Structure 1
Amino acid sequence: MYVYDEFDRAFLAERVADFRDQVERRLSGALTEDEFKPLRLMNGVYLQLHAYMLRVAIPYGTLSSDQLRRMAHVARVYDRGYGHFTTRQNIQFNWIKLEDLPQAMADLGEVGVHGIQTSGNCIRNVTTDQWAGATPEEFDDPRIWAEILRQYSTFHPEFTYLPRKFKIAITAAPKDRAATKVHDVGLRLHRNEDGELGFEVLVGGGLGRTPFVGKSIRPFLPVRDILSYIEAIMRVYNQFGRRDNIYKARIKILVHEIGAEAFAEAVEAEWANIRDGALQLTDEIIDDIRARFLYPDFAAVEDQPAEMTAALEDPRFATWYRNSVHRHKVPGYSIVTISLKPVGAPPGDATADQMDVVADLADAYAFHEIRVGHEQNLCLPNVAQKDLPELWRQLDAAGLATPNVNHVSDIIACPGLDYCALANARAIPVAQEISKRFADLDRSRSIGRLHVNISGCINACGHHHVGHIGILGVEKNGQEFYQITLGGRADEHAQLGTLLGPAVSYDQVPGLIEDIVDAYLELRASPKELFVDTVHRLGVEPFKERVYATH
């Protein structure tokens, strides 16, 4: 956990005071909605389909139990009793009244949580691997570098009004759990042949109306140069990014139009002027940030203890353990993923009571720490194996032990037309119905790893382009239709999905997904071949032939 200081707390208090004054002026009529819009967006406040929505940043996906408990308080007191976790490690409250927003922000600010730079044309919340600091795969804790970038980017005077929003993701493990290749900038932390720590830098990734996978412009950048190199990227984008057309303003369009090589040359030229300046990180700066992260004082505990051996005789616990528990870098400990995708429920939602339960369990078993993942699930990164049986029992009692992580019912979905003013179609009800169709755990296990992503409009907040099965809601003559893509992926082998065929109506989607899965079970080379690998081997035509023959 990163430990915030008095400067951080005073900064947030001043920000809340400013926003309270702005809200009072809006309520009194002194500010019109158009005048209020840029002020609220700087604090993560959107005007959605039915109400204002507050988006709160969870920097690099790390929460303390006190912070999660305070989010539960906000959901309970100011909202409708729940919050929605997003694909970019934020939480959204969809029903807060405008007059209550300043006090909700003040309550969150007391525990170091805010909505700053979760909206607007600025550098957004920097995201990373939810297993950071715990997985044995990683080269370093990527949160250190995410925090450095957070401090650098917050209210950066030159990059507060970029051509468009800007998103950075970092991974430090060979397995990419942060979807770095579909961000404006993706940073892959690794070591070179001499053992030096540095970043591969990717630019121009992104989804939405015009999706692209990021291009590598520098295979290895020493860690001390990360701020100056990001600064160079931002300057090139700020100067040459288009401002005449909102649909062509993202950095991915600039990289695509001039080419990755030309973009890299422009960045290198800009970087040459600043690389040895004030932005170069010293060991003292890096060590200071690293020292502000408090790590658990791991006790020496038994690996695979007797408690685990006995508990695994219970088939329900054994199923959850195989699905939701992962290896930790410290013997005797585990990483636990908590599914927020119970069958028939909105993906990514957690009630205030559930948030309180998770906070209490983090206090009891996980050193007071919780993580939020790209897949809209939660994670307890540091749990002693001996505590897993009791942790499971309490999660199960709270409806939080669904063992469907990475299965077909572990669906990523945006809020869609139920909340969003931009959406063309519903996403949540589609996800709910699909999860019901695949509620049988034995069937899900036989299918294996399969990611379904749903977006309610072309803005792609559900990342449908990189779902193994992607579902995009579109509007046709006032009715909801859905396009289906196959073969996308957001990991280290990121790839955009291929359109399967004509869009289908709302009521046809669940059955069509079942048909796709049934076709996969017939077409796969063996039970070990994953859905996405079958699609890559055969293409979409064999699926198209089977699926559209029945629709």
Structure 2
Amino acid sequence: MPDTTVPNAHSNQPADAHAGVYRYDEFDKTFIFERVEQFRAQVERRLKGEITEEEFKPIRLMNGLYLQLHAYMLRVAVPYGMLDSTKMRRLARIARVYDKGYGHFTTRQNIQFNWPELKDIPAILHELAEVDMHAIQTSGNCIRNVTTDQFCGAAADELVDPRVYAEILRQWSTLHPEFTYLPRKFKIAISGAPHDRAAVQIHDVGLIAKKNGAGEVGFTVYVGGGLGRTPYLGTKARDFVPVAEIIGYLEAVLRTYNQLGRRDNIYKARIKITVNEMGPEKFIGLIEEEYARLPRQKYYIDPAIVEAIEQHFAPPPWENLPAVSAKFEAAKAADPAFARWTRSNLSAHRAPGYAIATISVKPIGGIPGDIEAEQMEAVADLAERYSFGEMRVTHEQNLVLAHVKQDDLYDLWLALDKIGLGTANAGLISDIIACPGLDYCALANTRSIPIAQQISERFADLDRQHDLGELKIKISGCINACGHHHVGHIGILGVDKKGEEFFQILLGGDATQTAALAEIVGPGFSYDEIVNAVETVVTTFVGLRQPGERFIDTLARTGHAPFKEALYARA
């Protein structure tokens, strides 16, 4: 985990045991274990009362340890969402031995453990280090875990494998001496395809791969996106930055923000505020001035480094298969439930005869993103059997097996269904993003999890869900927007109203390449009213839609007025 400006190729490493998962070298391993031992001593001081909780706070946050409403929470980094079966089994063991038997996948493609005891944290971190995992930079005013497209390396529309550049950015940003104490946390997302599956425009910096007129691959760079109490979509800073220059350009962005970002007001410290208070044109001009001053050759990414890192993400040994599997087609014809799953949970693969399978971690009535230890172990087994031993965490709190032969899909689905992970609802109304809310978070105004569960149960009929089509609901228990409600097709925001839980409805958000912020339709609804209000929105959509329209298509055509009228019509 180098402390240098330019990445380390680690070219002496052997090929990975699991395709598509980067392996740390001895330098990385030594650093992580030393960090664990440092924190072990600090935890012992806290347990002995030698330091107060307030004194301990900055120390624990640097190691991914939060203090929530009822207990400590440990957030574990999953760089760009990639896991292998060894790592997944270790996470399952930690859930079983040190927590309450489950973990929680987050919108940062990380995993959280909500109930560990402080005395056990060093042991947990040691066990993570044994499988090349840690909790560094999952908190604090630093560059957080870089997120990316969950279909990376497999998507048919991909221009460049974003994992390669996410890993380069990981090496560059980890313990970067200049960016360890930024004005506020800083989040980067990368999409390797023009179709944005990483929600790049709601990040501090977002990168979307593109080709220039000469056919060269680079990135469109967006700056200043973010949600929370003042949501903004990112502003395009540059239409094209060559891949070899991306670290230099990001160095200029971070330096500009680090110098100009406010440190006197936590609510105005994010780069989105700096960009919009100063004006995007002026801020981007300062980035360009800083970039011009940089010694460019110092920041160029050597093609040899890219090639060395690409070896870690080389395509697995796909078989030469026909584009259409007779076995797969026969299974769909014979089993309507499987056919339904294939419509919502499969995506096109770049290799003939393969598919990308999304595993919904949103069973009907379940808690979005929660997964039991036994399920983790089962998914690890299935990944080894059907997807070269690796899996991905999505920013929508699901899992992906990216390289499944069509011939194997029916057996995979049967196995997933047996462990409660075979729900055919990816991208549908019950595939809800929800923050922990008042059940866990001291900042929350309202509960989020029970609302998500009730909506899921209200729309439990999978045939109805498939008829409604793509419809993304996102729920936040407070204005901090951890549930991404601003970019939900239907967003739900919890607010406190004289000590009672109320929920505002927002419509029209979009986190893809056509990014848009949702608009509040009117006054909030009580805890007992909100699910019926969502039902009203959906019923209105069904009455208005034209053939082939998704919810957001109908909303764009009709505007908010008919939905507002239906929601607030007087009896």
TM-score, normalised via structure 2 length? 0.95
Write out aligned runs for 1:197-208 (5 A): 197-208=217-228
Alpha-carbon distance between aligned partners in 1 of 2:403 and 2:192, rounded to the nearest angstrom = 18
Alpha-carbon distance between aligned partners in 1 of 2:48 and 2:299, rounded to the nearest angstrom = 44
Write out aligned runs for 1:386-401 (5 A): 386-401=407-422
Alignment check: 8 A CA contact 2:153 2:313 kept: no
Q: Could you tell me how far 1:300 is from its partner in structure 2?
A: 1.9
3-state secondary structure, aligned to 1:227: helix
Tell me what 2:458 maps to: 437
Alignment check: 8 A CA contact 1:3 1:294 kept: no
Tell me what 2:200 maps to: 180
Give the counterpart letter for 2:208 in structure 1.
Answer: R
Q: Deviations over 1:147-179 (max 9, x none)?
A: 000000000111000000000000011211100
Tell me what 1:465 maps to: 486
Q: Could you tell me how far 1:277 is from its partner in structure 2?
A: 3.4
Tell me what 1:542 maps to: 562
3-state secondary structure, aligned to 1:309: helix
3-state secondary structure, aligned to 1:200: strand
Tell me what 1:373 maps to: 394
1:487 to 508, 512, 519: 508
Tell me what 1:253 maps to: 273
Q: Could you tell me how far 1:68 is from its partner in structure 2?
A: 0.8
Alignment check: 8 A CA contact 1:446 1:527 kept: no
Alpha-carbon distance between aligned partners in 1 of 2:326 and 2:264, rounded to the nearest angstrom = 65
Tell me what 2:315 maps to: 295
Matched, 1:113 2:133: yes
Give the counterpart letter for 1:533 in structure 2.
Answer: D
Structure 1: segments with no counterpart, 5+ residues: none
Tell me what 2:44 maps to: 24
Tell me what 1:156 maps to: 176
1:92 to 108, 112, 126: 112
Alpha-carbon distance between aligned partners in 1 of 2:35 and 2:550, rounded to the nearest angstrom = 48
1:214 to 229, 234, 237: 234
After TM superposition, where is structure 1 displaced by more than 6 Å over at least 4 residues in a row? none
2:351 to 320, 330, 349: 330
Alignment check: 8 A CA contact 1:229 1:275 kept: no
Tell me what 1:169 maps to: 189
Q: Could you tell me how far 1:323 is from its partner in structure 2?
A: 1.4
3-state secondary structure, aligned to 1:475: strand
Give the counterpart letter for 1:106 in structure 2.
Answer: H
Tell me what 2:530 maps to: 509
Give the counterpart letter for 1:72 in structure 2.
Answer: A
Q: Could you tell me how far 1:336 is from its partner in structure 2?
A: 0.2
Segment of structure 1 superposing worse, 291-300 or 66-75 = 291-300
Alpha-carbon distance between aligned partners in 1 of 2:351 and 2:31, rounded to the nearest angstrom = 37
Tell me what 2:216 maps to: 196
Percent identity at matched positions?
59
Alpha-carbon RMSD: 1.0
Q: Could you tell me how far 1:12 is from its partner in structure 2?
A: 1.1
TM-score, normalised via structure 1 length? 0.99
3-state secondary structure, aligned to 1:322: helix
Alpha-carbon distance between aligned partners in 2 of 1:157 and 1:456, rounded to the nearest angstrom = 35
Tell me what 1:422 maps to: 443
Alpha-carbon distance between aligned partners in 2 of 1:433 and 1:336, rounded to the nearest angstrom = 26
Tell me what 1:317 maps to: 338
Matched, 1:413 2:434: yes
Q: Could you tell me how far 1:550 is from its partner in structure 2?
A: 5.8
Alpha-carbon distance between aligned partners in 2 of 1:8 and 1:272, rounded to the nearest angstrom = 32
Matched, 1:231 2:251: yes
Q: Deviations over 1:380-422 (max 9, x none)?
A: 0011111111111100100100001111111000010000111
Tell me what 2:6 maps to: none
Alpha-carbon distance between aligned partners in 1 of 2:203 and 2:95, rounded to the nearest angstrom = 29
Alpha-carbon distance between aligned partners in 2 of 1:85 and 1:493, rounded to the nearest angstrom = 26
Q: Deviations over 1:451-491 (max 9, x none)?
A: 00000111000000000000000111111111110001111
Q: Could you tell me how far 1:275 is from its partner in structure 2?
A: 4.8
Q: Deviations over 1:235-293 (max 9, x none)?
A: 11000001111000000001001111111110010001115131111111211221233
Matched, 1:522 2:537: no
Alpha-carbon distance between aligned partners in 2 of 1:199 and 1:74, rounded to the nearest angstrom = 38
Alpha-carbon distance between aligned partners in 2 of 1:550 and 1:193, rounded to the nearest angstrom = 57
Alpha-carbon distance between aligned partners in 1 of 2:42 and 2:323, rounded to the nearest angstrom = 55
Structure 2: segments with no counterpart, 5+ residues: 1-20
248 and 447 in structure 1: CA distance in 2 versus 1, 3 angstrom threshold:
same
1:103 to 109, 119, 123: 123
Alignment check: 8 A CA contact 2:194 2:209 kept: no
Alignment check: 8 A CA contact 2:98 2:116 kept: yes
Q: Deviations over 1:17-75 (max 9, x none)?
A: 11111101110111111111111101110000000000011111110011011111110
Alpha-carbon distance between aligned partners in 2 of 1:397 and 1:189, rounded to the nearest angstrom = 38
Give the counterpart letter for 1:485 in structure 2.
Answer: L
Alignment check: 8 A CA contact 2:95 2:373 kept: yes
Matched, 1:360 2:374: no
Alpha-carbon distance between aligned partners in 2 of 1:409 and 1:118, rounded to the nearest angstrom = 28
Alignment check: 8 A CA contact 2:23 2:132 kept: no
Tell me what 2:368 maps to: 347
Q: Could you tell me how far 1:10 is from its partner in structure 2?
A: 1.3
Tell me what 1:496 maps to: 517
Alpha-carbon distance between aligned partners in 2 of 1:369 and 1:132, rounded to the nearest angstrom = 12
Alpha-carbon distance between aligned partners in 2 of 1:544 and 1:298, rounded to the nearest angstrom = 51
3-state secondary structure, aligned to 1:507: coil
Alignment check: 8 A CA contact 1:180 1:186 kept: yes
Alignment check: 8 A CA contact 2:205 2:234 kept: yes
Give the counterpart letter for 1:530 in structure 2.
Answer: R
Alpha-carbon distance between aligned partners in 1 of 2:49 and 2:97, rounded to the nearest angstrom = 26
Alpha-carbon distance between aligned partners in 1 of 2:303 and 2:290, rounded to the nearest angstrom = 24
Q: Could you tell me how far 1:527 is from its partner in structure 2?
A: 3.1
Give the counterpart letter for 2:336 in structure 1.
Answer: P
3-state secondary structure, aligned to 1:277: helix
Aligned length: 550
324 and 288 in structure 1: CA distance in 2 versus 1, 3 angstrom threshold:
same
Alignment check: 8 A CA contact 1:337 1:377 kept: yes
Alpha-carbon distance between aligned partners in 2 of 1:327 and 1:90, rounded to the nearest angstrom = 25
